[in-house]
Structure 1
């Protein structure tokens, strides 16, 4: 008789860390998404893969996950950290500006997809309650996979984020709605929903008030100690406490995580919190993907692959068509509609939660829930593939621009200036370069701007620089200089950091909103940062001095001298803030005149 393998948490940790440290880099080297790598690890190392052979081959216990339920809390924590990081990129002003997208486009996408999928399932013999449950579950899209691919800004990321945010907010009402539809349910389901909404509103209001008062002081004390460990522990404390509070009143822990992220984003310490929690977020998200892989039974898939494939294709086609049509109706370009539609087409990790709720409520049978659970897991697996197909479809839709753009980006052997952003600032920079005989290539994500520029013979590329592959095409190692003119301060800092790491000797000149943003750009590696507010002040000073009768020569000389002083002051203060974490607001206050 084979020896019985004694499971320990260390053996599970060995598999997870081995996947993160060995398997995933191997997938990255062959340009395959790490998402697929983590899911394949879950399939192989889970109880339905090699784990089923541990009884006969005890040594396999060191290469498999013996207790899948033990790592589920870590997977949930990964999702919470992911939504927390999304909250860090938001602000109350931005959320208010996105309200029409969230409650218009987001609500339309979820409701219309649920109606079409649920209606089709009702026609195929499901009960009305079961069809409604499955329609709502399958209409959800994956926040955990989509947003890391496209971010929350740009022509693709902005509408995708709006739809995903509405879905995350709708999870709790969906769960209460399904409870009310249960055969054994009474009016208590609706009463519970009203109670949760009231308590949730009170909790969020309390978090907003307390967060604005306590968080700056809490993080300020941690910053003064200059202890990364203390700063990390406080960051995780805020996330976990917010998630537990939202769970206590009946809301999803995701809601608490997002609110916590938004509150910290309003402080001076959001960048440091984002950086210090990133390793935990990535590893915990990998654990979640491994649990998705463990839910897949290869033998069950092989036995019913035709039905599973048909169901998955039907869901993907319906959701892609609905999302693409709504985006086109709202005025988005064809390429954006095509790419976003395919990106949002697969089911979500929260689909699994809704399926479990529907099964517990008696709306769907256990075997039906198991079937659609496999469909959902397969859908999560092919999400990177759908994203790649969406990008190819977008390029074909914009074929009248892209072939020329390829020609522009492929010929960068000679040193050229690369301009990111061809709006009003980018156009002026390009005109001045042309006047002085300097060659350049510009990049812009607005297809109308690109088309107009190319009709005038201006070398402008259509693309989203938030994507690494777009930056690779620019061949910055052969560029003479990089000029960042976008009106997106967060993306500008991120690109500056990345490009500086790739090209240490490249000249990077960036547009800054104010002195604080300029100092942040200098810390990120910018050669020069030009604050709009300071330049406007200098131009006003020049105009009034000339009108007062002072000679033009001394005025221009004094303006140049003052500009140099301000620039050196900003650079010096940026260097002083290299030791994390110090707030941007403190820098802005220091730069204010007495």
Structure 2
């Protein structure tokens, strides 16, 4: 009997994997995206399709771990300093969007004839955007690290925080009398706060020492087990405290974001995250009750369209009010115009509290699931037919399985000029960039540029960074350059690292990070420009060259003095996000005096040369 049960369970696992393997490539080939493929596969094999599965909620419960791991990986990219810099977007932009959407969607519920408590619960369930759907779509587009992507992530984080007070609010709205043995609501809040404090304390004082000990053991499988333990342990602690599992995993990721082991942890978690997130979308597809939709299709279809439209309009209005461009506001409105997975938790709590009945719960659940299923399709249609959002990848080859002696990241004006020396000597060069129009333009002149984001470790590996002799970072974004330097120095120590610097402060940061060569993007051109200006007013070529050489020498000396004066520690803070030790006044004041003296001496030399002329 047990053998038959085991075989039955194995058949279900095979059916899930088979449905994903068949559906996802087909949908991606059709340009519909992997999320829609998972949802369609779940609908086909679920209880309302072929009937291979009868309990989609149990699959959803397990598959929520995919969302949990997704938030953990996002947390690894969010250093506390970066998260603090997003505080206005998280609590300002997030609160503004959620407040406006709640009012408008509650009005939609009232317009459909539902009483105020039911309308409010339905509105809040729809306000909580699907983290899984949005983050997957952002990830596929490579927009997570971009400014517009960071705004969306900030709003999603605020919504994850909101589920806790919403559940408390549901308990206060309940018409049912609370029994004394159920305990105080304030005690539940206290337990939640204590769980949060415990997780932060463990992250600060336990996680880094734990991974340091495990790394010394040199057992890769133990590191993987430890990474899973951290994610699941943080999620469990938050769940026991009545909080969001995803928020617990996100906090654990943030606490490990400055660890030297974070890249290894991310690589260990990635396969589990992808499989479980796919399983989550399969579960959502199974949960779409076609029977409920069939019996109440006029109400459900009209409610889905009305709520998605109203939410999109509110998101667009907030985006434009906060001075986002028209194209970005439209894209965000279409991307976030759906309900999310936390709505299922909220509706279940409201049903248990007696605020909504079983029929309303089924209808609201169907509305949210249908909105999640429609979002990838609407995003696809919007990006295909909207002139402001359309950016075809046709003819653009992504970086994959490449090799080369030199990897050049960024092919703007700086990268184009520096690459000419290498190409003149037939050096085997790999070039990547994220500007699609620039890639197309470069191909017209015979350059082969691949599409790839140099801030992603998987892309760097796909470009052959592990075998490259040199990696030239030529991007014009200081933050992106710092991120690339950190990845390359940690993961590819065999390569010489050459970096385009933004200014003197950035150059000091790069030197402190251990790059092999850096140059300020405007320094040499400005020196040459100044030399030409001298010649134009009658100074001889020889004297102009002498003065230019003197300026270079003085700049190098000032550079060394600033490094000796503690600027290296400040530079390390720029790239690695660590707080530099406070330098003593003595080594700071002396270099400043010497630098001032050098400047005065240089001015005197130039003045003497003018007198001799």
**8 Å CA contact retained: 1:518, 1:529:** no
**8 Å CA contact retained: 1:7, 1:66:** no
Q: CA deviation at 1:305?
A: 3.2
Q: 1:299 to 1:364 in 2, by over 3 A?
A: closer
Q: 1:526 to 1:494 in 2, by over 3 A?
A: farther
Aligned to 1:519: 489
Among 384, 387, 401, which residue is 1:396 paired with?
387
Aligned to 1:44: 44
Aligned to 1:229: 221
Aligned to 1:491: 455
Match of 2:107, SS state, is helix
In our comparison, the structure showing a higher alpha carbon Rg is: 2
Residue 159 of structure 1 pairs with residue 151 of structure 2:
yes
Aligned to 2:508: 533
Q: CA deviation at 1:500?
A: 4.7
The CA distance in 2 between the partners of 1:493 and 1:385, in whole Å, is: 29
Q: CA deviation at 1:70?
A: 4.4
The CA distance in 2 between the partners of 1:368 and 1:29, in whole Å, is: 38
Q: 1:192 to 1:319 in 2, by over 3 A?
A: farther
The CA distance in 2 between the partners of 1:323 and 1:265, in whole Å, is: 30
Among 366, 371, 375, which residue is 2:358 paired with?
366
**8 Å CA contact retained: 1:521, 1:529:** no
Q: CA deviation at 1:289?
A: 1.2
Q: Could you report, residue by residue, the CA deviation over 1:322-352 in whole angstroms, capped at 9, with x for unpaired residues? A: 1111011111100000000110001111112
Aligned to 1:14: 14
**Counterparts of residues 290-301 of structure 1 (less than 5 Å):** 290-301=282-293
Q: Which moved more, 1:75-84 or 1:22-31?
A: 22-31
Instruction: Count how many residue pairs are aligned between Structure 1 and Structure 2.
Output: 498
Residue 352 of structure 1 pairs with residue 344 of structure 2:
yes
The CA distance in 2 between the partners of 1:349 and 1:115, in whole Å, is: 21
Aligned to 2:275: 283
The CA distance in 1 between the partners of 2:551 and 2:91, in whole Å, is: 56
Q: 1:218 to 1:475 in 2, by over 3 A?
A: farther
Among 192, 204, 224, which residue is 1:200 paired with?
192
Which structure 2 residue ranges, 5 or more long, are not aligned? 398-406, 424-432, 476-480, 502-506, 513-517, 528-545, 561-575, 581-613
**8 Å CA contact retained: 1:87, 1:258:** yes
The CA distance in 2 between the partners of 1:233 and 1:550, in whole Å, is: 62
**8 Å CA contact retained: 2:396, 2:439:** no
Aligned to 1:451: none
Q: 1:180 to 1:188 in 2, by over 3 A?
A: farther
**Counterparts of residues 64-79 of structure 1 (less than 5 Å):** 64-65=52-53, 67-79=55-67
Q: CA deviation at 1:224?
A: 2.4
Residue 134 of structure 1 pairs with residue 109 of structure 2:
no
Q: Could you report, residue by residue, the CA deviation over 1:223-274 in whole angstroms, capped at 9, with x for unpaired residues? A: 2233221111001111111111112222121221111111121211111111
Q: 1:535 to 1:134 in 2, by over 3 A?
A: closer
The CA distance in 2 between the partners of 1:526 and 1:30, in whole Å, is: 42
Q: CA deviation at 1:139?
A: 1.2
Match of 2:20, SS state, is helix
Aligned to 2:237: 245
Q: CA deviation at 1:379?
A: 1.1
Among 369, 387, 411, which residue is 1:377 paired with?
369
Q: Could you report, residue by residue, the CA deviation over 1:526-576 in whole angstroms, capped at 9, with x for unpaired residues? A: 984457336678889x99xxxxx99959987x98xx99xxxxxxxxxxxxx
**Counterparts of residues 168-179 of structure 1 (less than 5 Å):** 168-179=160-171
Q: Which moved more, 1:27-36 or 1:250-259?
A: 27-36
Q: CA deviation at 1:95?
A: 1.3
Aligned to 2:447: 479
The CA distance in 2 between the partners of 1:409 and 1:65, in whole Å, is: 41
Q: Could you report, residue by residue, the CA deviation over 1:196-218 in whole angstroms, capped at 9, with x for unpaired residues? A: 44333333333223322221121
Among 109, 119, 140, which residue is 2:107 paired with?
119
Aligned to 1:592: none
Aligned to 2:330: 338
Q: CA deviation at 1:519?
A: 1.5
Q: Could you report, residue by residue, the CA deviation over 1:489-527 in whole angstroms, capped at 9, with x for unpaired residues? A: x836565445559x9999854454396455147469898
The CA distance in 1 between the partners of 2:62 and 2:393, in whole Å, is: 43
Aligned to 1:98: 86
Q: 1:419 to 1:9 in 2, by over 3 A?
A: closer
The CA distance in 1 between the partners of 2:178 and 2:434, in whole Å, is: 53
Q: 1:470 to 1:295 in 2, by over 3 A?
A: farther
The CA distance in 2 between the partners of 1:364 and 1:294, in whole Å, is: 23
Q: 1:351 to 1:269 in 2, by over 3 A?
A: same
RMSD (Å), alpha carbons:
4.7
Q: 1:35 to 1:472 in 2, by over 3 A?
A: farther
**8 Å CA contact retained: 1:342, 1:389:** no
Among 313, 319, 327, which residue is 1:327 paired with?
319
**8 Å CA contact retained: 1:496, 1:508:** no
The CA distance in 2 between the partners of 1:483 and 1:528, in whole Å, is: 20
Aligned to 1:309: 301
**8 Å CA contact retained: 2:20, 2:37:** no
Q: Could you report, residue by residue, the CA deviation over 1:432-477 in whole angstroms, capped at 9, with x for unpaired residues? A: 67999x9xxxxxxxxxxxxxxxxxxxxxxxxx949xx889867879
**8 Å CA contact retained: 1:121, 1:131:** yes
Q: Which moved more, 1:223-232 or 1:195-204?
A: 195-204
Which structure 1 residue ranges, 5 or more long, are not aligned? 52-63, 411-416, 439-463, 544-548, 564-583, 589-594
The CA distance in 1 between the partners of 2:439 and 2:419, in whole Å, is: 25
Q: 1:183 to 1:147 in 2, by over 3 A?
A: same
The CA distance in 2 between the partners of 1:14 and 1:90, in whole Å, is: 36
**8 Å CA contact retained: 1:147, 1:157:** no
* TM-score for both structures, normalised by structure 2: 0.69
Q: Could you report, residue by residue, the CA deviation over 1:44-85 in whole angstroms, capped at 9, with x for unpaired residues? A: 21122212xxxxxxxxxxxx2355454344212222112211
Q: 1:29 to 1:123 in 2, by over 3 A?
A: closer
**8 Å CA contact retained: 1:246, 1:252:** yes
Aligned to 1:109: 97
Q: 1:524 to 1:334 in 2, by over 3 A?
A: farther
Q: CA deviation at 1:284?
A: 0.7
Q: CA deviation at 1:146?
A: 0.5
Q: 1:129 to 1:555 in 2, by over 3 A?
A: closer
The CA distance in 1 between the partners of 2:243 and 2:276, in whole Å, is: 22
The CA distance in 2 between the partners of 1:434 and 1:92, in whole Å, is: 37
